[in-house]
Amino acid sequence: MRVLRSSRGAVRRVLLPVISALVMATAGVALVETPALAASGPAAGHAFSVTATSADLSSAPTIGWRDLATGASGTYATHGGYPKISPDGTKIALATQISGSPYLRISVIDVQTGATTALTTPGPDDSDREPSWSADGSSVYFTRETNISTSDLDFVYSVPAVGGAATLAVSESANSPAAKPGSTAIAYVPETDSSCALKTLTSGASTCVLSAAQLDASQVLGVFSPSWSPDGTKIALSYLTSASMGIMILSPSLGTFRVLPASVVPGTRNSFTIIASMSWTPDGTQILYGQGPFDLDTVLPTAIGNVRSVDVATGTHASTVQAGGHLGSDTWFPAAFTTTPPGSEFVAVDPVRIADTRTGLGGQSGALGAGGTIDLPVVGASVSGTGLTVPANATAVVLNVTVTNPTTTSYLSVYPGPAGVVPPLVSNLNYTAGLTVANAVVVSVPAGGDIVLRNALGSTHVIVDIAGYYVPTSAGNANAAPYAPVTPTRILDTRTSIGNLQGPVGAGQTRDLLVTGSNVSGSGISVPSTATAVVLNLTAVGGAVGTYESVFPTGGSVPLVSDLNLGAGDIRANLVTVKIGAGGKVTLLNAVGSVNLIADLAGYYDASAPDDFVPLAPMRIYDTRDGTYNTGGTAPIGPGVATSVQVTGTLTTTTGQAWVPADADAAVYNLTGTGPSTATFVSALTSPVGTPNVSNINLRPGATVPNLSITKIGTGGQMYFYNAQGSTAVLADLAGYFRPVGG
């Protein structure tokens, strides 16, 4: 990947060693090939990305992978750069350093096992880089820099993907090969043809598709890193001018190009920022690229770069897609970009407590300290000795997690285990000293069956109650049911006649709420009598003293669990998934004092329902404090404003790129409001229609309050967050989504 035109020799000779340094060393650390080692990779058939990155300037870059369907991630043992994924998603071609040499060869990593095989054997004064898979995956094109100590010319070669002799693919001196999807053609950079900046080669015949005169007219010094769009109609190139570096889109058939807004100013010789290693999303709407600063004199990076993305239509650059990754990245998606993990259905259980640090239930005895974690098994014949059986094939669990007696302001994160994994940048509960706070959590279950609960600061006791679990639809569990999302609708308000249970609920009193029928509480929503569970957003208002609320199947015994905790005068909400009891009802219990209760129906589970659940590793997809995450800016949401949130398609997240299919019907996420300027409420909506009569979060000035939410997705794959009064920041951490059964 170099400046293309030999007439710009000064630019070419300055940048060439920098590009090689992307792979050959980081601050002098060699990338020695490692033995083939077994490694867990992304699930077969799942969309995934790979990046070559280093944790700091003294570390050799590693090849990391991320499963975009589940959020799982890992690192291969082999070091290297320029990673490119094979068309079938089973191999990664990359440049690795030859043992005992400063030069590179092309190697291939098996995506599933991590086993590494060397493909090329360059001469003692040669070096191989910039691999590009042929469209059918049978061979790998690459650049061979020859006779480095003397003439130093580049040529494009090809080598069989299974190994063998490398053969010259382009007769003239050239570099940066890029195979065209669905074709035998390649694009490449000619080095000795001063009239042409980019050529294509088809059946042995080369064609100039970007002339030197075109670059001169746009005052472009050079172009780099050709990358074909998925449909083979366009080529993305990074370009360099005297003042900036950015990306252009070339249409070879038309001989025209469009320059996107520059994303970086290259800077000085001692901190020269370059753009490299581009890959397209399969819908052709975004380009991912690596960016990082280098010292042109020492040929070493001056800081860790990152992966960014640019919208092809608007030219808008995302600030960061993934930290690191400036040493190359690539993304692979299944055919037609529609393959998703298998769906799961829900098994409702009578709620039961499975962990309590005050008693030692669940294995942790004593408060959880700063940075402390609980490794909690959630599958087995008798979870935590409770007698509850959760099968080994469970894909996710539905929990109510409570913290009590925290010593300072902090937050709790819940995520798939095992113990020791890097915690994701998400939160499930936020609390201040002395409070008792509960929140529902949906968390995917890893192969080992353990989840992790982590407290950030101070110490706190943690309590965990389970309401049910998901199992694969394909397992045919007779007790499992798919989900039917509904537009959020109020079915109970004891301050009014909604739900026919008017009047505050006193100490130790219960209310039996009808949740099935053709017109639940006059809402117009029908819930079949065969439904197994409902999802309610439960809010408690106006309690004179601190209390808690429990929700359980009508007709059953009162369980030792809580779903909502509130202090005197608080307004608190929590999402409750509860098994339906006798007469199509659920029972609500208030412990102390008296309180008004409000319930908004979000959906229900039934054999006839339309949607399966797809759990994900938790990831932040929205944050009004940080414009990176799918939001138009960094301003809080103002009064009476409903702001849109994109929840389908390719999403920018705290863990890189993620994908939610266009046919997803509902999103499952932890919604947090923080720093409100006045008392307010936030509603999650399917569409922005006036002032809503439902709420998800109730906030006091300056408070931080989370609530698990399940929201039906509206037109264009969007949902909306509405803020009632003042202004407040809003965050959303995605835990999964619902999509049509069998989709």
Residue 21 — φ and ψ, nearest 5°?
-65, -20
Looking at the DSSP bridge assignments, the partners of residue 549 are 564, 590
Q: What does the radius of gyration of the chain's CA atoms come to, in whole angstroms?
A: 28
Residues 731 and 708 sit within 8 Å (Cβ to Cβ): no
Task: Average the pLDDT over 396-406 and give the result.
Answer: 96
Report residue 659's pLDDT band, with 50, 70 and 90 as the boundaries: low
Pairing of strands 461-472, 344-356: antiparallel
Strand pairing of 306-311 and 729-740? unpaired
- DSSP strand pairing (585-590 vs 450-455): unpaired
Highest mean pLDDT among 13-27, 260-274, 464-478, 652-666: 464-478
Q: Which CATH class is domain 340-480?
A: mainly beta
pLDDT band, very low/low/confident/very high, at 22 (cuts 50, 70, 90): very low
**Residue among 240, 227, 219 at smallest CA distance from 296:** 240
More confident residue, 542 or 15: 542
Question: Which whole number is the average pLDDT over 360-388?
Answer: 93
Q: What per-residue confidence (pLDDT) applies to 423? A: 79
Residue 588 in contact with residue 561, Cβ under 8 Å? Answer: no
When the pLDDT of each residue in the chain is averaged and rounded to a whole number, the result is: 84
pLDDT tens per residue, range 475-516: 889 999 999 999 889 999 999 999 999 999 999 999 999 999
Class of domain 483-605: mainly beta
Question: In the numeric block, which tokens belong to residue 619?
Answer: 């990831």
CA distances from 110 to 73, 113, 166, 331 (A): 16, 6, 20, 15
Spatial distance between the Cα atoms of 495 and 730, rounded to a whole number of angstroms:
28
Q: What does the block give as tokens for 692?
A: 């809503």
Q: Give the residue-averaged pLDDT of 632-646.
A: 86
Q: How many CA atoms lie within 13 A of 333 on its CB side?
A: 19
What is the CATH code for 6-337?
Answer: 2.120.10.30
Let me know if 268 is exposed, middle or buried by CB neighbors in 10 A (0-12, 13-18, 19+): exposed
Mean pLDDT lowest for which of 65-79, 383-397, 639-653? Answer: 65-79
CA 99 to chain centre: 36
Domain 611-743 has CATH 2.60.120: yes
Position 621 pLDDT exceeds 90: no
Say if residue 17's pLDDT is above 60.
no
Q: Each residue of 210-233: pLDDT tens digit?
A: 998 988 888 888 888 899 988 889
**Alpha-carbon span 291 to 238, nearest angstrom:** 11
Q: Any idea how long the chain is?
A: 743
pLDDT at 27: 32
Q: 3-class SS at 566?
A: strand
Is the predicted pLDDT of residue 655 greater than 60, yes or no?
no
Mean pLDDT to the nearest integer, 341-361: 93
Please tell me the predicted confidence (pLDDT) of residue 35. 29
DSSP for residue 715 = G
Nearest CA-CA partner of 24 in 100, 92, 80: 80
Joined together, the tokens standing for residue 46 give: 């799942």
* Domain boundaries along the sequence of the chain: 6-337, 340-480, 483-605, 611-743
Residue 577, classified by CB atoms within 10 Å of its CB into exposed (0-12), middle (13-18) or buried (19+), is buried
Q: Which residue has the tokens 């030792």?
A: 560
For residue 418, is the peptide bond before it cis, meaning its omega torsion is within 30 degrees of 0? Answer: yes
pLDDT at 13: 43
For residues 43 and 67, give the distance between their C-alpha atoms in angstroms, rounded to a whole number.
Answer: 7
* pLDDT recorded at residue 720: 94
How far, rounded to the nearest angstrom, does the alpha carbon of residue 554 sit from its chain's CA centroid? 39
Instruction: Work out the average pLDDT over 613-640.
Output: 80
Cα–Cα distances (Å) from 297 to 27, 271, 301, 415, in that order, read 13, 10, 11, 45
* DSSP element (H, E) containing 20: helix 9-24
pLDDT, residue 160, reads 95
Specify which residues 196 forms β-bridges with: 211
CA dist 380 → 383, 384, 396, 448 (Å): 6, 9, 13, 11
pTM: predicted TM-score of the whole model, two decimal places: 0.63
pLDDT at 21 > cutoff 50: no
Topology agreement, domain 340-480 and domain 611-743 = yes
Is residue 397 within 8 A of residue 465, CB to CB? The reply is no
Please tell me the predicted confidence (pLDDT) of residue 265: 61
- Relative to beta strand 62-67, strand 174-179 is unpaired
Q: Residue ranges of the alpha helices (H) in 303-372?
A: none
Provide φ and ψ at 460, rounded to 5°.
-160, 150
pLDDT band of residue 311 (cuts 50, 70, 90) is confident
How many C-alpha atoms does 323 have within 13 Å on its Cβ side? 8
- Tell me how far apart the alpha carbons of residues 705 and 685 are, in angstroms, rounded to a whole number: 18
Count Cβ atoms below 10 Å from residue 558 Cβ, excluding itself: 11
Name every residue whose Cβ is closer than 8 Å to that of residue 498 and which is 6 or more positions away in sequence. 490, 491, 492, 521, 522
pLDDT of residue 107: 94
Q: 161-164: list long-range contacts, CB under 8 Å, 24+ apart.
A: 161/86, 161/91, 161/108, 161/119, 161/133, 161/137, 163/117, 163/119
The confidence score (pLDDT) of residue 78 equals 82
**56/634 Cα distance (integer angstroms):** 28
DSSP class of residue 328 equals: -
Give the pLDDT score at 219: 82
- Closest C-alpha to 82, from 65, 95, 97: 95
DSSP state of 408: S
139-146 and 697-699 strand pairing? unpaired
Q: Which of 341, 320, 373 has the alpha carbon at shortest distance from 444?
A: 341
Helix or strand run (H / E) with residue 621: strand 611-623
- Name the DSSP letter for residue 262: P
- Average pLDDT, integer, range 563-587: 93
User: Mean of the pLDDT values across residues 585-606?
Assistant: 96
Cα atoms in the 13 Å half-sphere on the side-chain side of 186: 27
Confidence of residue 606 (pLDDT cuts 50, 70, 90): very high
Residue with more model confidence, 99 or 450: 450
